[in-house]
Structure 1
Amino acid sequence: MQSHYDVIVVGARVAGSALAYELASAGYKVLLVDKSTFPSDILSTHNFFGNSLAMLKEMGVLDRLLETGAPPYNRAVIQFEDAVIDGRFPEVNGEARCLCIRRTHLDHILFEHAASQEGVTAIEGFRVTGVIREGGAVAGIEGERRGGGTERYTARLVVGADGRRSTLRDLVHSERKLSVPTDFASYVGYFAGYRQEGDLHAELYKIGDKIGIVFPTNDGLHVVGVMFPLDDEEWGSRFSRSPEKTMREIVDSGFANAPLPARLAQSTLVGAIKGLRGYDNDWYQGMGEGWALVGDALTFKDPAVGQGMQDALYVARTLTGVLSRYTDWSANWKEMAHMYQSLTESLMMSRFQMACQFTKNVPFSPEQHAVNRLIAASPEVTQSFLGIYNRAVEPYQFEQAVRELAARLG
């Protein structure tokens, strides 16, 4: 096994495996490492919109993901207080389907796909413990395999794709540029026997100070998530003592005027309820001398907006494109870092800001209530609204559509 590569990627889930694939396709020699072994689960949202499915198809992995039995869907029903927005996602890049695939399937398939590419060497169960530096620049990693001794590998670039609590990010001392803490605690479970009216669809509820999300996923299950104010000590304590009972109780009390309670009452929990109590929506410096960040290591957003995994795919392509513009990386770190930061902000900042708004426990204003009702009343504007999620529509275009509808209605 060789010891020197063009790029070392630390973290081999969605962002890391996608990056390894993109880099290999561009002709680079890549070492892909992860502290976990696959298949393995991780707490996260795991929904792809149509734009992401189009990218997965281009990568040559979509058919295998569909073979896992995760059911494609195209409809979303969103309830903001008394406004019910029911519509379909617009087509983008020839793809209109969405897919919510469990991480036990998704990460394993993406890892195997990346590892099968010519030029990729992959190691599971490898924990990074430090970085190698030469003249101040990062030049490699050191770490240990499970049950083994220390190993060292060098590269022209080391990339952290190891999640929102990135070890690599800490080792290179990336600066946090933006940080907006959430006001919510989140709990998630998988349920069998969950029945929806009509065809399969995603559900999103924001009623009072609580948020609910539902997606159809593998094995005939639906993933159900609830969010409540982080400073609500009573609900937090109850979740700690009895997670399933408390999830059902908070759904019954917080979403009484929605279809969620009746659907959940007929469903059976499969596995355990898992929780995330507090997190930051943050954005870090994306590149420095000899290092870069992708995925949640670069920027983490409130999971309720469902943008993390598709951003991981986009950023993998963006970073590969930046690297491909330069032959001598060591002489151009500053220029490359500026380009990478500019491109990622242009690509993702509008959705990051949307997540920062969603993550705060702020009631809808009277003006927003009026806008929500306008959206719900217009199939055209509903589709424009849903198009924000799969990047068929930019937020400013949606806002223009709302203004035009309001003007028509007088």
Structure 2
Amino acid sequence: MSYDVIVVGARCAGAPLAMLLARAGRSVLLLDRSRFPSETMSTHWVLRQGIDLLAEWNLLNDLFATGCPPITEVRMDFGDVVLSGVPTTASGATAVTCAPRRFVLDNLLVRAAVEAGVEVREGVAVSDVVWEDGAVVGVTGAGFTERARLVVGADGRNSTIARAVGAATADDRGALTATSYAYWSGLDVSGVETTIRPGCGVSMWPTHDGLTVVGLVLPRQDFLSRKQPGEQIYLDSLAQFDRLRGCRVESRVRVATNLRNYHRRSHGPGWVLAGDAGYHQDPIGAHGISNAFSDADQLSRTILRALDGGVRIERGLARYEARRNADRAASFEFTCGQAALRPVNDFDHVLSAAAAHPATASELLGMFVGGRRIEQFFAPANLARMIGG
């Protein structure tokens, strides 16, 4: 059997993409080496733009029905300045976010794809793509070969599809931080709490089952120089935080030290990349899930126009990649700056203004949760308005 689209990778980019294509009447095969529900490394935080897309897809209420708490308050402790309040969007609305467990979120997305008519195969590993006349026409693995008009690699940072098609890296800033997290009980957190200190960042998000995700970010070289097990570094670093006294770790500690900041060339004859397979930013900004949702949304529109004859597929995919790169350019630079612990121009002035004016604080918090675009927030006219010239 031949499909319109084969999607490899069934998490936050692949599952919603497959769902959207199937809802439009296209034949879609969705493959993943994992079985669902299952965990994966994640920041957990769904930023505002991700929330908007879940609502548009009629999945947001389903997610909240699983017991995932909505987040409407953010506290950011920079040492000299502490900001606390309700983040807002550019329109002034509350920028609601959430931080679901991934075994809940990903399973919900896969089930939505099944309900839309996607053929889903779990526990299936793709090993290579199938070429014909210089174009990708399918995928192959142990005991199977399937064909399609388009193959989508939504299979993460170590993408098999990206490797198989030789997708070149267009911009690689390297791995800048080491990130680790675990789930804690006994921690009364109603919103997001972030503490920034020289060479260290700690964030807390309420998640399912009354637990709190507690994440630690350290400069990568500092982390590696300690030459201790990652779990021990995590626990030793957090021992100094009074906020965690009397609380208990309820899971193993997940550690990652090689999360590079990059984007790859993401399209070619018969193939395209989505999510972390094509574009990855340091988890310090927590953009991964929402960017994956955005890729699914934009790429589904591109593919459907092409399949309907409205645009040549090669031209449409090129536009998709160019639009994605342009849309994330400011976020990419800002995130790399955060991860490298570089000072951001005018940020101290913005913090001072935000400390003095609650409305400015809500705008700044809104930028961090994705309710306001970074380039618009730091536009000269907006900075002048906030900090007085």
1:213, 1:304 within 8 Å by CA — same for their partners in 2? Answer: no
Matching residue within 273, 282, 301 for 1:321: 301
Question: Cα offset for 1:235?
Answer: 6.5
Deviations 1:13-59 (A, max 9, x none): 11110101111122211000100001110111111133322221221
2:349, 2:387 within 8 Å by CA — same for their partners in 1? Answer: no
Deviations 1:350-369 (A, max 9, x none): 2222211111133x479543
1:100, 1:216 within 8 Å by CA — same for their partners in 2? Answer: yes
Change (3 A) 1:40 1:365: closer
The alignment status of 1:25 with 2:23, answered yes or no, reads yes
Question: Cα offset for 1:252?
Answer: 4.1
Residue 211 (structure 2) aligns with: 221
The whole-number CA distance in structure 2 between the counterparts of 1:188 and 1:100 is 13
Task: Output aligned runs, 1:213-292, within 5 Å.
Answer: 213-232=203-222, 236-240=226-230, 243=231, 246-253=233-240, 261-292=241-272
Change (3 A) 1:370 1:92: closer
The percent identity for this pair of structures is: 30
- Across the aligned residues of Structure 1 and Structure 2, the Cα RMSD in angstroms comes to 2.3
Matching residue within 138, 144, 148 for 1:155: 148
The whole-number CA distance in structure 2 between the counterparts of 1:398 and 1:38 is 39
Residue 338 (structure 2) aligns with: 358
Matching residue within 358, 362, 371 for 1:383: 362
The alignment status of 1:404 with 2:371, answered yes or no, reads no
Residue 373 (structure 2) aligns with: 394
Change (3 A) 1:22 1:348: farther
The whole-number CA distance in structure 2 between the counterparts of 1:40 and 1:343 is 32
Matching residue within 87, 97, 108 for 2:85: 87
Number of aligned residues: 386
Residue 147 (structure 1) aligns with: none
Residue 97 (structure 1) aligns with: 96
Residue 138 (structure 1) aligns with: 136
2:72, 2:94 within 8 Å by CA — same for their partners in 1? Answer: no
Is the deviation greater in 287-296 or in 383-392? 383-392
Which consecutive residues of structure 1, in runs of 5 or more, have no partner in the other structure? 145-149, 254-260
The alignment status of 1:308 with 2:288, answered yes or no, reads yes
Change (3 A) 1:66 1:327: closer
Report the secondary structure of 1:231's partner residue: helix
Q: With structure 1 as the length reference, what TM-score do the two structures score?
A: 0.88
Deviations 1:163-213 (A, max 9, x none): 1111111111111111112332111111000124xxx11122221011111
Is the deviation greater in 150-159 or in 180-189? 180-189
1:130, 1:141 within 8 Å by CA — same for their partners in 2? Answer: yes
Change (3 A) 1:230 1:390: closer
Deviations 1:314-343 (A, max 9, x none): 1111111112222488x9344223211222
Matching residue within 163, 168, 172 for 1:170: 163
